[in-house]
Each structure stands twice: as structure tokens, then as C-alpha cells.
Chain A
Amino acid sequence: GARLGPQGGCAPPAADNRLKTTKYTLLSFVPKNLFEQFHRLANVYFVLIALLNFAPAVSAFQPGLALAPVLFILAVTALKDLWEDYSRRRSDLAINHRGCLVFSREEKKYVHRFWKEIHVGDFVHLRCNEIIPADILLLSSSDPDGLCHIETANLDGETNLKRRQVVRGFSELVSEFNPLTFTSVIECEKPNNDLSRFRGCIIHSSGQRAGLHKENLLLRGCTIRNTEAVVGIVIYAGHETKALLNNSGPRYKRSQLERQMNCDVLWCVLLLICMSLFSAVGHGLWVRRYQEKKALFDVPESDGSSLSPVTAAVYSFLTMIIVLQVLIPISLYVSIEIVKVCQVYFINQDIDLYDEETDSQLQCRALNITEDLGQIQYIFSDKTGTLTENKMVFRRCTVSGVEYSHDANAQRLARYQEADSEEEEVVPKGGSWSQRGSIGSHQSVRIVHRTQSTKSQRRSGSRAEAKRASMLSRHTAFSSPMEKDITPDPKLLEKVSECDRCLALSRHQEQPLAHLSPELSDVFDFFIALTVCNAVVVTSPDQPRQKVRVRFELKSPVKTIEDFLRRFTPSRLTSVCSSTGGLAASKPSHKSGPSFLSSLSSDSVFLKLEERLSQPTPSIASNGYSSQAESWAPEQKPEPGQERELRYEAESPDEAALVYAARAYSCALVDRLPDQVSVELPHLGRLTFELLHTLGFDSIRKRMSVVIRHPLTDEINVYTKGADSVVMDLLLPCSSEEARGRHQKKIRSKTQSFLNLYAMEGLRTLCIAKRVLSKEEYACWLQGHLEAESSLDNREELLFQSALRLETNLHLLGATGIEDRLQDGVPETISKLRQAGLQIWVLTGDKQETAVNIAHACKLLDHDEEIITLNAESPEACAALLEQCLQYAQSRAPHSTPEKTEGNVSVGLFPLCSASKSPVSGPSLSLVIDGRSLAYALEKNLEDKFLFLAKQCRSVLCCRSTPLQKSMVVKLVRSKLKAMTLAIGDGANDVSMIQVADVGVGISGQEGMQAVMASDFAVPKFRYLERLLIVHGHWCYSRLANMVLYFFYKNTMFVGLLFWFQFYCGFSASAMIDQWYLIFFNLLFSSLPQLVTGVLDKDVSADVLLLEPQLYKSGQKMEEYRPRAFWLNMVDAAFQSLICFFIPYLAYYDSDVDVFTWGTPITAIALLTFLLHLGIETKTWTWLNWMACGFSILLFLVVALIYNSACSTCYPPSNPYWTMQTLLGDPVFYLICLVTPVTALLPRLFFKALQGSLFPTQLQLGRQLAKKCHKSPKTPKDTFAQGHLPREPKTELSRGSTGNPSESPSRDCALHTSPHMQQPPACSPKASGEPSAVDTSMPLRENNLLESPGSSTAGEAVSGECPRDHQRKRLGTSQAVPLSSLFSLPNLSSLGCVSSLSLVSGLGSVLRFSRSSLHVDKRDSEFLSNPPQPEPDLSGLQRQTAEYL
């Protein structure tokens, strides 16, 4: 590691803090930039071709002229680089010239310096709200506890404050830190980019060593908050800072389309070589024929000899390559980049992707994979924070085996939801107190925080306005009253206060806790654990604290009352709340407030209760207790404003939710210092726990622990909070003999069942446990832990081991259920994405039950779906289970086999056919797999099977998966299925998955910016994904695909003209088109219109795309740009070039026309043909398109006219003097220019029209419908929603069947089902009573099986009486299957592969049947109320189209 001596600033010039992100200097620009540009193969190719031109024997153009386009392209790129470098330089300069106070040894004081002048080893003095200029080791803070808070938003976007700590050994200093007395040596690791880790040690002059951690380090780019002043020593400066090492710039990926394009470029190269070879051979033959004949036109070599045919052929070959170089589109790459930049611009500018609440819009971080968005096939989504809001709300808890359902709380939450969706008036109108009070008060509280907290200073003004606007628009995402304010369960509240009272009474006795019953003791511990076991930072508006200020003073009653008055002036309240509810502002604290407040809440039972409880408080508190808090706590406590001032900032929202929950039970966290935590209870007063250790949360252990000394018992307690799966395993084994043990066991099993219940409700569960350590145990553990802490090498590993030693033999206290609400619009988005043919996999670290329930909530799983659950304990079991599932899946498959053949025909030609098919293709499969099984399934020998199974499932849910597994799954799908994948997530645990996927999307949400930093696109909310993919993805893909195709067409057609001419010029590589036109044609004349089209063309409008998501499939199937399209395009190009060559040829045959007077009309014709062709391909004509086309023609004319009159002797050999002018006076010129483009494009137009009428693609239908609806007064929504949604499942089905070659053989196994499949509720007898959407679909499919493929069965389906019988029969059989399979369960369990979880979930879903069938009924009635109109429409269309076949 680096070693930093005490001499600090006097050290030899260590790295300074200058920021230099520029790549070039004035001198190095040209060579370096050129060098970089030549990394692109295309540039090398073009330069080589241009250089080839310098060889006289093969030169086709004037050498200088041939270089022009390459130089132009290089120059444009260089200019762009230069400009970028310049703007970087400017921002560098601005950053380098920021000032800060640096200690100067000469002047013995802090002097003002620029950032760039800071060196490693300098002492830097920073004040509140200053930005940290380098990575600084915190040596001194004005904070009384040696703390410093920083906001890392600039670094990772996390807005919560992070606490930093003065280096051990300096925090104890009483006097102000004096840099002159600093004599320690600092050793630290080499600069690295790991933001979350810093290791090092400081060796004091006494030889004492102290470890340094990331808690001691202030990172560059962060902002000091809540702390008056800090002093630190610079450890890393400039480019060695972690912030800059993390800055790798935007990512570069090659999109799939580009890869395909490169492949086609290679085809073009091949074509070029073929053409040149053909020409060369032709020329060789030609030379041999005329060589001996003394032809007058045969030009010998300069020495008079003539070339041998072979040499001539070789020369001709090279010249041909030069002449035909246009075939490789030099401007293609540049154009594509321009188009992509514009696309990125438009995506960024889309107002529908702008999130008002967070004032953020979509960010495109990768600039060159926009079109990949249009081809995604698989979406891998994280759950927490991605599908859900990651706003944790405490829902219910169980303590000591007793469940507290918190019904009032649930009601309150439900009301929030209503308030979300309903009108604003709900707030004043709402009948009950709790709602009015809570919403009103919290808005006011929020405002207080907003205006008071230093954090929000930066974004005051319009930002706050946006907040308020969002609040008014009833989005609760950012507002947190919901989280903060929990309505306690009366039973539990009573128990808590009972504990409180008992303890308060017995606190002076030896064993205060012993007087409590075990249950009450558990309750007490439970809440202490909730309050203490976390890393929540308590902040209050009076920050920053200063060393000089005495703590008591700060909290003097007067001050708080003043605060109270100041904060609750009526004007502020009314302005925000506009309801009397604001007066109840202080209520939710559940503290007894001033009487006028409590009078408002007379109807609230628990408040009365609480009031009553709080009465005796002063008397108890005045008993006096020998703790530090004792003396001032009684006065301070009853202040009504006090608690509101506390604000909890937690790193994870779960923690905050729990702390707020505890506060609701009057167990409030009031202060947290590095070594102590203060908790306030109504009767006990302030309890200060000595905090011995905090073992932070990590995703491997999945738990966190604190070690504290209990102030009442003086015992050393360990409180652990963690995932239930982990904590349950760490519990103290209890013997079943003794009664206590049995009781414990009972409690555990009860808790476990409640946990399962919570999980089924989709709650996040946490277990709370406790361990009492004896002094000896603690001392023993401490020794090991300290060793681990101070070790430099594998500190992490040792600390992990140490944590494991501590967290064993736990005593279970209880469990909590926290709700993570779904984000707005998630179910809708998922169903839209589904319709768009995207497979959505959810990969989550959560429990299986939680995940399954969230999946149900967001419609990822349907209740009528069969869920395959894979829970295996061993690889063998997993293999067996997979095998079974596969068999089952295949047994279902034969239904779709007959459709396969038909599907190939109909879908390929006119996919509309499928519209008349069954609206629902029967119950589909879903796969749920847990982390352990996933690990087995991802092994080499099983991955194929797993994938095969997953492919047949509509949705896949991987629970309990680690970040690594997430990325492995993505990688597997990407590599094995060759599918385009998109990963979306918001947290650090999704980073690996985001990086692996073709397209990574980060959600700039609650959990910081790590995911965003790794992503290609960052969206504010999950729901924006819909528009991003379905609209922008589709547009980007279709625009780019069409543009690339057009490019190939254009170049091929142009080169074709030259090639045909070779037949009439002895294959001599002569060109009838003037070299200037030849070289600049692509670059100048024909480039603008295609760019405009490439940027602006919209094949289908955004509304239609959103209404008919299945249009997205065209991108997935690469319909617009596939090999067939490419080759058809090439053939068309060849045809058009034939026309464009031979019409002028025949028109001028045997006339006195000269080469260039003939070539110029051909150029003009080519230009017109290109524009017309583009016109046919353009779907949207804006004025920009017209302008661009007009400009192109005009530019050609103007350039030609100027060029042809500029010089009469220049530009050998063409010398086109006055050619254009002559041509403009020649009627034949106009006649040719009219007839040729029309002739060339008639076939294309005709076939386009035919195809548009007879075999319209989905996209064309979409456009037609859009137009129709635009004209008709009908709202498009109804039409589309009804008309085209049913089309979707069938196509998916047929696609699934085509991808599954081995279905038919397994038809025999149809009844061989596995126990893990649940039959869909659609088959329940209830549903058969009336025809439901599901039911009608089944006979439909059977009809399809029976009848010859191709004939439409839609008519019968709609009339629909007879299929009922089919349906009944079918129901009978299908019902038998699940029963038998359920009963066969015991046999199979001998395999050892059926875990208890799957059983439970199985039962759960059986239970759910009744509920979901009700759902079905409801839906049916809706369905029937508006009869299925759209089907005839589509079937009619299809019949028509079928006739034309």
C-alpha cells in the first residue's frame, strides 16, 4: 500500500488534485486522434482505397479527390472529438478552480487554494455544504462526537446522509485539531475504485496502530452536511480518488442490428470482389481480343508496349475496387451514429418518460444500442425497488408466537391507496379521524422537514414546487407519511405499555426484567431490538451540532416551543393542507400533546388509552434515575414538537419502517451516537444503551446484529435482525423434554407459520432474535473480533467468521411483516410487455412466498396459471424434478403441435390469421424456482433442461437468488437461447445482471445509483419501461433497420449502374459518372433525406404502439431487417440499376452523346430514384422530409451547375464543362428523368401496395387502424382493446410450438403429470357454470385440432353453443388429473426432492382456487356484458385474405 509520511504537504510532489479528463493536447491532437480513428476498420479500408488511387496504373480518380471523402469523414469525427475535448477541458477548468481551505505550513494557517493545488498529504478544512475536493481522511470534526455527515448524491445518487467518523485516536482530542502537531504515518491501500471499501491504518508517533475504514474516509464529490466544519488529510487526490476511478464513462456496446449489419457489409465486400473479379476477367479477355488488332482506341503503355491480358486484368481488378468502393458505404457508420445520437436526444426529450415526482427523465447512458430496445425478448427484473416502490410500510408483526394483525393499520394503508387513486377531496371528506389526522399532519410535517433540513436547500424552489405538485396529483411515492405513521395494534400497544410500566416500577430492583412474564419480556426486547438494531441516523432540524454547544441547551423547552410555534403557524398549515386536519399535526406522535390537540381526537380509542397511560409519566420520571439522560429527560419528553423533529434516515427503507413502527409504540429512537443509542419510553424515560458493536447488514449473512449493554439489566445483549430463513437456523436448539423448550418450539412453529402467512400476503419478513452474552463469552468473542478488525489482509473474511461466532444460539423474539407496495402501473406495464411478446423473468432475493405473491399482485402470475415449483435439496433431486416437469410441460404441448404447421404458413405470410384463434390458449405454465434449486439447475448438465422448461413457461420466478445467480441466469438465456435480454434493477445486487444483459436498465430509485451507473438506460420508474421499449424501442429499431437497408440498397444500386457500364467500355473500369458525383454522391446529395427519415420516421404512432403492444414483436422477430429483406433489397437494387442504366442506354444508343453528358442524366436519374424509393419507404412525411428531398435535388443541380461552369480545363479526365447547362436545354434529359425513376419504382410500389392490401403485416394493420380511428369519431381505445388483444396469445403459442421440435413424441405422456403442478382454477366446477373467457377458448382449440388447418373457425366460436359439450368433457378429464397427481405425492416424496415449501405453496394455491374462481366469474360477467365484437372483424379480414391466397 501507499505510505504517507507525517511530513504531509512537504512530500515530494505527490499526485496533485488536478482533474484532467481531456484526451489531447494541442500537439498530440492530430496524431492521437488519427490513431484512434484508425481503430475503426472501415476508416482503414477507405484510406487504403484512397491511397491505392495514387498508383498511376490503377488510379481511377484524381488522387486528391479520392481522399476527399475519407478526409471529410475523419475531419468531422475529429472536429467532434475536439469539441468534446474542449468542453471537457472547460469543465475540468471550472472544477480545478474551485476553492477550498488548505493548511499552509509556511503561514501556519488555512489559506484559500484551488482544488488543483491540493496535494496528497495536505490538510483540508471543509465547512458545511462544501464539496469534498479529494479523498480525505477525517481527522477532526466540529461535531461533539467526532462525526460528520456526508451526502453522496453526486457519487451514487443516494440522498440519505452517510455518517463518517473521525479516525480513532483523533476523536478524543478535546482541543481543536492542529495540523502542525500531526506526526502519524498513514498506510493505505493503493488507489482503487471500490467505493464501499477502504483499508489502511494509521501509526501514531507512539507506535500505536489504528485501523482505517471507509467510515473514516470522505470521498471526493460528496458534500458535507449537518456538520459545521471538518479537517482531514488528503489520502488520494486527483485521478486517484475513488470517484474518478469509478468514472469509466459511457459504455460501448455493439447492438445486434449493427452486428447483423456488419455481416451484411461483409456480403457487400464479397459482392464487390465478385464484381471486380468479373470485370477483371472481362477486361483480360477484351485486351486479348483487341491487342493484336491494332485497335485505334487501344492505348499502349508509355513505352509503347502493350500490357499482357493478365496484367491488364490485375490492374483492372484494383481499379474496379476503387471505382466500386461506394458499395461499402463510407457514410453508413457516420450516418448511423448521427441517427443514434438524435434518437437518444428524442428519447431524452420524451415528456412521457419524465417523472414529475423525482424531476428526472430517462437517461440514455449508452449511446449506441437504442435499436436493441426494439428487439428485446427476455426481461429480467428485480423485484424490490423495481416492481415495488421500495417504500417499506410496517404492516404487522408477531411477537413471541402471538400475531398482531394491525387491522387498523391495514385500513389506514388501504385508505392511502384510495387516496392515491381517488380524488383529492377524500382528505377533507374522510370520516374517520385517523385518516384525516394522519394525512393532514404528515403533509405539514413533511413541509417542515423540507424547509428545515439542510439537505433540501440545494433543491429548493421549483423542485419543492414539483414536489407539491406531485403531492397534489396524489402520488405518494416521495411522500412518506405512509411509512412514518403506523397505527398501532391496541393489544400490542397495551402489552408494550404494560412492560413499560412494570419496568418503570421495578427498575431499581436487581433483575427488572425478571418480573415480566416471558411474553412481555419478549415484547419489550422485541421493541428494543427494533429500535436499536439498525443503522438509522437520527437527524433533527437543529443541525449542525457544535462542540461548544451543550446538549441540554439545545433541547431546552423554550426553544422547542418556539420551534413549535414557528413551525405551525396557521398560514403554513392551511397553505399546505387546506383542511383542519393540519391542526392535528402533532397527533400521530401518540404523545400526549397540549389539550387543545387531544380534544380533537376524542374519538380515537387508542389515543385515549395512550393519554391515560402518559399521565403518570412525570411522576415516574421524577423518581430520579442514575443515568445521564435522567436529569433532563423528564422536562424534555413531553414537548409536543420534540418527536416530530426527529427524522430517521436509514440506508434501507426497511430499517426506517421498523424504527417508525417502534416509535408508534412509544418506543422512540431519539439519538444515535457511535457508542450509544438512546431510546425513549413513556414511563421509563430515556434509556441509553451502550453500543458495543454493530455488525452491519450484508447480503451474504442476510442479517445484522448489534451488541449492546442493557442499561436496566447491565447484561450484554445481542440483537439480531435478519431474513427468516437465516435467523431460524441460528436459533438456540431447544429440547422438547422440558416445558420451556416445548413452549419455545411451539412459538417457533407458530412464528414460522405466521411468517409463511406474511409471505403469502407479499410482505417482506424479518425475524428478530436476541442473545444474552455472559461477560466471559463476550470477552472471548471480543478478542477475536478485535483481531479480525485490525487485520489488514483478509479483514472481511475474518469479520465474517467473527460475526458467525456471535450470531448463534439466538432466542427468537418475533417477526415483522413489511409491505413493499407495488409501483404505479406495474401490473399494467407487465401485461403490456407480455402482450408485446416479452418474456418476463423475475429474479429476486426475496422469499419464495413473498415473491409469488408479489408476482400475483403485479399480474406476472395469473391465478388461472399452473405454477411449477422447483424446490430441490440436492442436484439429483433437482435433475429428477426437472425431468418430471419437462415431461409434464411436453405433455401439454401436443395441443399446439397441429397448429405448428398451420402457424408456419399463416403467421409467416399474414399473421392476422392468428387473430381469430382462441383468445386464451388455456392455462399456461409458470415456473417458480428457489435459489438453491437454481444453483443446481444452472449447472452444466442441467442448464439445458432448465432452459427448455423455462422456455415453455409464460413466466419464471427465481427466488432467493444471489446477484451472481441473477447474472448467470441472464448469461445462460443470452448465450443458449441467443435471445436479446434486458435486465432491470435498482440496487447494487442487480449490477452484475445489468452488466451481463444486452440492455441494462437501472431504476434511479431508492437504493442509490449503483445500478444506474452500470446501466445503459436509467428510468425513474418501472412503468416507463413500457414506453421505452414498446414505443421508442420499436421506433429506433424500425428506423435504423430501414435506414440500414436503404443504405445497402442505395449503394448497390449506384454501383450497379457502374457495373453495367463495364460491359460497354471493355471492362476497363471506366465510369460514365463524373468522379466528383461518384465521390460526393453519398456524402452530399443523397444523405440528408435518409438521415431525416432515419431520425423522424414513425411507422406506427405511439398511441397505437401502446394500445397494441404485440406490434413490438416485429422487432423481436427482426421482421424489418432480416437476411431475406436484405437480399430482396439487393435484388431490387439490381433491378433498379438495370432500369436506370438501360433506359438511358437505349435512349442514347448510336447517338452523338459523349460519356459525361450521358453520365450526368444517369446521376440525376439515380438521385431521383433514390428519393422516390425513400419516399415509398417513408411512412411519415413531415415538412422536414419534404425540405430534405427538395434540398437534395436543389443541391445536386446547384453543385452540378457551378461545377460545370467553374473551370474549362480542370478535373481531367472528365472535364464536364457546360454539360449540365447543355442538358438543361435538352428535352430528352427531362424525358429520361421522368420515365426512368418511375419505371424503376413501379414494381416496388406495386408489390408494396399488393402486400399492403393482401398480406398486411401487423404494423401495417396498426397504421391502417390508427388512420381509421383517427377519422372515425370512435375512441381508438375501445377498438384496440377489444379488437386486437385476443390476437396475441395465439401467436405466442404458435411461436412456442415452433421452437419446440420434440413435442409430438411425448404426446403419450399427457397424463403423466407431476405433483407440483396445480391445475388451473379455470377447471374448477364453478367456472364451468357459465362460459368464461377461458372456457370458450378450449373448445376453440379443439376445433382447430379437428379441422383442416387454414380454415377459419371463428364463426363457430362466436356462435358458440356446441363447444359447450366439448368443454364439459374436457373439464371432466382435466379435473381428474390434478387430483390424482395430488394423491400421488407421497410416492414421489421418496425421491427426497419435495421440500416443505413446495407443499405449502401447493396447499396455498389450492386454497386460492376458490378466490380466483370468483375473480374469474367477475371477469366473465364483464366479458359478457360487452359481447366479443372484434372477432368477426378479424376473421372477416382473414377470410378475405385467405381467398386471395
Chain B
Amino acid sequence: MAMNCNAKDEVDGGPPCAPGGAAKTRRPDNTAFKQQRLPAWQPILTAGTVLPTFFIVGLIFIPIGIGIFVTSNNIREIEIDYTGTEPSSPCNKCLSLNVTPCFCTINFTLETAFEGNVFMYYGLSNFYQNHRRYVKSRDDSQLNGDSSALLNPSKECEPYRRNEDLPIAPCGAIANSMFNDTLELFLVSNESDPTPTPIVLKKKGIAWWTDKHVKFRNPPGGGTLEERFKGTTKPVNWLKPVYALDLDEDNNGFINEDFIVWMRTAALPTFRKLYRLIERTNDLHPTLPAGQYYLNITYNYPVHSFDGRKRMILSTISWMGGKNPFLGIAYITVGSISFLLGVVLLVINHKYRNSSNTADTMAF
């Protein structure tokens, strides 16, 4: 930091500077700030001063932890792996690629009834949705319905930008790798009745409200969705074009919620994504009563090649979301450790205090 002006004043600072400086003394102001005497709290970290902190942390964390743990334990959750790598699995047949489409059915039993709204997830493992190049491979403008971006997607989408000279809508690797298994759930009411009751799976309401209404928009213009997507082609891996994702006009095209959910790239290689909602219909019956269920799978999505796993998860939720035993355990553990350390400090402080007191009395 060159402050040459000062130095020059010393040499060349004649009357213009000197009288100004000489008129008043150069005595510095005696203010608390300038003299660094601001009132201050000066904690000293010793066993005695710190141990309350540890106890307080312990006393706060353990109850919170217990609360979270209980909440988390009250959540019902069932997870069904349907990758089909085990030969016994009904979906094992779908591993070979030549069988398309492949249907398989998995039976499972709910030991306890699922109360309240039940969330149906699909889970993928060893799937790196957070890979740098993968995450980048999308065009938000296109997804937002920008007509120019629709026909001329961003370079980030390469190599899934164009297919046979037609722009891909939606472009990019994320869209291209969209999860496309179909999962259906049936309740086997009783052993005698062979026709299972299908469970109503709600497709809407699974994506963020802002995603569905702000971030993702179909291309503007009148006419059908197909016309609005004219001049584009479907992603390479897709079976259907984007405007045929659903029949419901409000859940089709870019604003298809399955698509939106997929486009929100997962943070970690093992993740789940919300697939369907099972809303409770009436207060008298549980949403999913205990019993036997079928899971009908239209097996399209190949994960076996890269050692991935596919799962279907049914879970109730609480105020803090899905089942998560870790946080409760973490709180309890940290709280206990903190409490323990507090005790250690207390002991130390006790001994130390005695000695320092005697020292004090001797000194003063």
C-alpha cells in the first residue's frame, strides 16, 4: 500500500500543510475506539468457564435427539429391491436386453399398516447423478419453454443436443437418462380373492411447486403439445417423445412431474426420488393396510451394466420428512459426549480450582 503522499508532505509540506497541522495539537483523540478501550467481553477458556457450555449442549441435544429418534422410528418404511441380479428374483429375466418390454411382479407383505399419506419412491444406487459433466448437461432455458432454446439447445447438452439434425427436447444427458420404469401397486385383499385391488397412485404433487410452475414450462403457443414441440425430436434413450409422457395436459411435456423430479439431480450416488403419492382416503382405514401386495414393474431402466441397484420404497412421513435414524442418533451421541466432556471438565475444574484457590490465598 503505497502512501507516498505522506512522505512527500514531509519534504515539501510547507505552509499549505504545516499551519493546518500546527494549528491544533497532534494529540490523538482520547476515544474508546481509538485507544482500543471499547467495552468488551473477554472470555477465558478454562475448564471452569467452558464446562457450562458442555452441559448445556448435552442437556439440549439429548432430548432433541430422543425426539428425532422416536419420530424417525415411528415412520413406516419398506424397501423392495427389484434390480433382479439374484437369479431367484422375478425380475431376473429382464436383465437380458432383448426382452422389451419386460414385465415382472414382486410380492411383498406389509406387516403393519401404513397410516397417513404414503410416499412411493424409486431408489437408485451407484448412480452418479452428481457427476460434473452429467450435472451440467441440461438447458434450463429450453426447459423453461424458451422457443429459441427449444430449437437450438445449449452447447452444454452435447452430445445429446441434436439427433439426426433435429434438436432434442429435452436435451442433455440428464433428460436422456430419465428413469422410465413403471411401477404399479396392488393389494391382495385376501387369499381367496384372486383379483388384487390396485392402489391409487397420485402422479401429481411430487415435484417442487416452484419447479412445476416457474422453472419448467412447456413451449408457448396454442395448439396441442405435439404441435408446440414440433421440430424437435425425443431423447435417444426415450421410448416416447416428451409430449407423450402423460395423458393429462397438466402433467405432460416439460411439466411432467416425473420428469421434473428426475431433472433435480441427486446429491449422492445412492438416492431415491419421489415416484407417487398414496393419499389417505378416509380416516377410518389405514392408507396401506397390512397385508400382501404385488408390485408390478415395467422393467425398462438398465442399471445392471454399471452395478446399479433399483429399489421401490414405500414410506410414511413425519414433520421432518422421511425415515432418518441418523440425525437422532447423532444428536444423542453428541449430547452424551458433550455431557461426558463436561463431567471431565468439572472434575478437572474441581481439582484445579482448589489448588488455584489455595494459591490465591497465599498470593494475596
Chain A interface (Cβ < 8 Å from any Cβ of B): 19, 21, 60, 80-81, 84, 87-88, 91, 94-95, 98, 131, 154-155, 220-221, 223, 243-244, 246-250, 290, 293-304, 319, 337, 340-341, 346, 348-351, 354, 356, 359-361, 365, 367-368, 458-459, 461-463, 466, 1013, 1064-1066, 1068-1070, 1072, 1096, 1098, 1102, 1143, 1145-1155, 1157-1159, 1176, 1179-1184, 1208-1210, 1212-1213, 1215, 1217-1218, 1222, 1226-1228, 1231-1232, 1234-1235, 1238-1239, 1242, 1245-1246, 1248-1250, 1252-1254, 1256, 1260, 1263-1264, 1267-1268, 1272, 1274, 1279, 1283, 1429-1430, 1432-1434, 1436-1437, 1439-1440, 1443-1444
Least CB separation from A301: chain B residue: B159
Given contacts A84-B5, A91-B9, A1228-B324, contact A1065 B128 (CB under 8 A): yes
Given contacts A88-B5, A349-B35, A1231-B64, contact A1151 B135 (CB under 8 A): no
In the bound assembly, the distance between CA atoms of A1096 and B132 in angstroms comes to 42
Is B265 at the interface (CB under 8 A from chain A)?
A: yes
Shortest distance between the CB of A125 and any CB in chain B (Å) = 17
Given contacts A131-B15, A349-B28, A1246-B54, contact A91 B8 (CB under 8 A): yes
The 9 closest A-B pairs by CB, nearest first: A1433-B363, A1440-B355, A302-B158, A1158-B267, A1436-B359, A1249-B50, A1070-B132, A296-B177, A295-B306
Chosen A-B contacts, 24 in total, with CB atoms closer than 8 Å, are A84-B2, A84-B3, A88-B8, A98-B14, A98-B15, A247-B11, A295-B306, A296-B176, A296-B302, A296-B306, A299-B134, A359-B25, A1149-B268, A1209-B141, A1213-B135, A1227-B320, A1228-B320, A1242-B54, A1249-B49, A1249-B50, A1260-B46, A1433-B362, A1436-B358, A1443-B351
Least CB separation from B65: chain A residue: A1235
Question: Contact at A1238–B24, with CB atoms within 8 Å?
Answer: no
Is B103 at the interface (CB under 8 A from chain A)?
A: no
Least CB separation from B313: chain A residue: A1150
Given contacts A459-B22, A1150-B272, A1152-B271, contact A1068 B322 (CB under 8 A): no
Q: Which residues of A contact B135 (CB under 8 A)?
A: 1070, 1155, 1213
Question: Contact at A1253–B348, with CB atoms within 8 Å?
Answer: yes
In the bound assembly, the distance between CA atoms of A1215 and B154 in angstroms comes to 15
In the bound assembly, the distance between CA atoms of A1222 and B210 in angstroms comes to 10
Q: Which of A1146, A1238, A1253, A1443 contacts B326 (CB 8 A)?
A: A1146
Q: Which residues of B contact A368 (CB under 8 A)?
A: 1
Q: Which residues of B contact A1252 (CB under 8 A)?
A: 44-47, 50
Question: Contact at B36–A1209, with CB atoms within 8 Å?
Answer: no
Q: Which residues of A contact B14 (CB under 8 A)?
A: 95, 98, 131, 154, 221, 223
Q: Which of A365, A1066, A1176 contacts B128 (CB 8 A)?
A: A1066
Q: Which residues of A contact B53 (CB under 8 A)?
A: 1245
Query: Quick one: which of B17, B177, B307, B334 has the most chain A CB within 10 A?
Result: B334
Is B208 at the interface (CB under 8 A from chain A)?
A: yes
Given pairs A1068-B128, A1217-B215, 16 additional interface contacts (CB within 8 A): A88-B4, A249-B8, A298-B131, A349-B28, A351-B29, A458-B22, A462-B23, A1064-B268, A1150-B271, A1152-B274, A1209-B215, A1213-B156, A1235-B330, A1248-B50, A1249-B47, A1430-B363
Is B187 at the interface (CB under 8 A from chain A)?
A: no
Q: Which of A80, A348, A1242, A1245 contacts B337 (CB 8 A)?
A: A1242
Shortest distance between the CB of A209 and any CB in chain B (Å) = 33
Total interface residues on B, CB under 8 Å, equals 129
Question: Contact at A354–B121, with CB atoms within 8 Å?
Answer: no
Is B43 at the interface (CB under 8 A from chain A)?
A: yes
In the bound assembly, the distance between CA atoms of A349 and B362 in angstroms comes to 40
Question: Contact at A1253–B352, with CB atoms within 8 Å?
Answer: yes
Question: Contact at A297–B134, with CB atoms within 8 Å?
Answer: yes
Q: Which residues of A contact B3 (CB under 8 A)?
A: 84, 250, 367
Q: Which residues of B contact A84 (CB under 8 A)?
A: 2-5
Q: Which residues of B contact A1226 (CB under 8 A)?
A: 321
In the bound assembly, the distance between CA atoms of A304 and B307 in angstroms comes to 23
Is B221 at the interface (CB under 8 A from chain A)?
A: no
In the bound assembly, the distance between CA atoms of A359 and B158 in angstroms comes to 73
Q: List residues 207-245 of chain B with CB under 8 A from any CB of chain A.
A: 208, 210-211, 214-215, 237
Per-residue contact bits, chain B 122-156, to A (CB 8 Å; 1 contact, 0 not):
01000111111111111111011010000000111
Least CB separation from B156: chain A residue: A1212
Shortest distance between the CB of A1061 and any CB in chain B (Å) = 8
Question: Contact at A1232–B327, with CB atoms within 8 Å?
Answer: yes
Least CB separation from B134: chain A residue: A297
Question: Contact at A1147–B326, with CB atoms within 8 Å?
Answer: yes
Question: Contact at B40–A1182, with CB atoms within 8 Å?
Answer: yes
Q: Which of A302, A1238, A1433 contacts B360 (CB 8 A)?
A: A1433
Q: Which residues of A contact B9 (CB under 8 A)?
A: 91
Shortest distance between the CB of B94 and any CB in chain A (Å) = 16
In the bound assembly, the distance between CA atoms of A1234 and B327 in angstroms comes to 11
Q: Which residues of B contact A1239 (CB under 8 A)?
A: 330, 334
Question: Contact at B214–A247, with CB atoms within 8 Å?
Answer: no
Question: Contact at B364–A1147, with CB atoms within 8 Å?
Answer: no
Is B198 at the interface (CB under 8 A from chain A)?
A: no
In the bound assembly, the distance between CA atoms of A1437 and B360 in angstroms comes to 9
Least CB separation from A356: chain B residue: B27
Question: Contact at A221–B11, with CB atoms within 8 Å?
Answer: yes
Q: Which of B42, B46, B132 contacts A1065 (CB 8 A)?
A: B132
In the bound assembly, the distance between CA atoms of A294 and B271 in angstroms comes to 20
In the bound assembly, the distance between CA atoms of A297 and B177 in angstroms comes to 7
Shortest distance between the CB of B142 and any CB in chain A (Å) = 9
Question: Contact at A463–B25, with CB atoms within 8 Å?
Answer: yes
Given contacts A1226-B321, A1433-B359, contact A1254 B348 (CB under 8 A): yes
In the bound assembly, the distance between CA atoms of A81 and B5 in angstroms comes to 11
In the bound assembly, the distance between CA atoms of A337 and B133 in angstroms comes to 39
Shortest distance between the CB of A1042 and any CB in chain B (Å) = 14
Question: Contact at A1208–B215, with CB atoms within 8 Å?
Answer: yes
Q: Which residues of A contact B296 (CB under 8 A)?
A: none
Question: Contact at B266–A1155, with CB atoms within 8 Å?
Answer: yes
Q: Which of A1149, A1179, A1246 contacts B345 (CB 8 A)?
A: A1246
Q: Which residues of A contact B11 (CB under 8 A)?
A: 154-155, 221, 243-244, 246-247
In the bound assembly, the distance between CA atoms of A1208 and B143 in angstroms comes to 10
Q: Which residues of A contact B326 (CB under 8 A)?
A: 1146-1147, 1149
Question: Contact at A1180–B42, with CB atoms within 8 Å?
Answer: yes
Q: Which of A95, A1143, A1145 contacts B268 (CB 8 A)?
A: A1145
Q: Which residues of A contact B337 (CB under 8 A)?
A: 1242
Is B74 at the interface (CB under 8 A from chain A)?
A: no
Given contacts A1179-B42, A1181-B43, contact A304 B264 (CB under 8 A): no
In the bound assembly, the distance between CA atoms of A1235 and B69 in angstroms comes to 14
In the bound assembly, the distance between CA atoms of A298 and B54 in angstroms comes to 48
Given contacts A221-B12, A1242-B337, A1267-B42, contact A359 B26 (CB under 8 A): yes
Question: Contact at B7–A249, with CB atoms within 8 Å?
Answer: yes
Question: Contact at B144–A1238, with CB atoms within 8 Å?
Answer: no
Question: Contact at B6–A250, with CB atoms within 8 Å?
Answer: yes
Question: Contact at A1235–B331, with CB atoms within 8 Å?
Answer: yes
Is B48 at the interface (CB under 8 A from chain A)?
A: yes
Least CB separation from B130: chain A residue: A1065
In the bound assembly, the distance between CA atoms of A458 and B137 in angstroms comes to 75
In the bound assembly, the distance between CA atoms of A1070 and B237 in angstroms comes to 25
Q: Which of B10, B131, B341 contacts A1070 (CB 8 A)?
A: B131
